[in-house]
Amino acid sequence: MRGSETYQQVLDGDLLIRGLSTDDLPRALSIERQGHSYPWTEALFRDCFRANYRLWAACHGDLLVGYAVVAYMFDEAHLLNLCVDPRWQGQGAGRRLLRHLLSEAAREQMVQTILEVRLSNDTAYRLYSVEGFEEIGRRPEFYPNGDGREDARVMALQFPA
C-alpha cells in the first residue's frame, strides 16, 4: 500500500501513523522549515507523490507532528527525509515513524533501507544506530551548511532474508 493512501495504524496510544497527503503539505512545510536549515520546497515534496515513493505522517489527533519520505528503487528503500516538529522531538514520534517505514519496506520485500545523515546530527545518528543501521560509507560535501558543505554518513539496514 502506498504512503499517500489512507492506510492507518495506531501506535502507542495517541500517535497515528498514516499516509501523508497533499492536504498535509502546509503543515509538513512548516515542520520542515523548523527542522532543517536548508528545507525542502513544496515542489520537491509534491514530486514525491509517485508510485515508487512512500510518504508517512505521524499525527497526534488531527495535528501532523512529523513525516517521512521514502523512495523505493528496485529492492531498496531510501529514506530521504524524516522530520519531527521540534516541540514533539524526544517523545518517540521519530522512532515510531522509522519503525513503521522499516516494517512497511520489509513487508514490501525490500532488501535494505539506506539513508544519509549529517555528520553533525548526533541525535539522528544515535537513533539510526540503535535501530540497527550501520555506517557503510561517507558522501563528502553532501549537505549545504553555513560554511559551505558538510559530509554525510551513509547508513544501511539489511532486512533478514
Task: Clarify whether 116 is annotated catalytic.
Answer: yes
Is 121 annotated as belonging to a binding site? yes
CATH architecture of 8-158: 3-Layer(aba) Sandwich (3.40)
Domain ranges of the chain: 8-158
Enumerate the β-bridge partners of residue 58: 17, 66
Check 7, 42, 76, 116 and give the catalytic one.
116
pLDDT in tens, 141-161: 899 888 889 999 999 999 998
CB atoms within 10 A of CB 159: 16
* pTM score, whole prediction: 0.90
Residue 4 has pLDDT above 60, yes or no: no
Check 67, 128, 143, 150 and give the catalytic one.
128
SS3 state at 79: strand
Task: Clarify whether 131 is annotated catalytic.
Answer: no
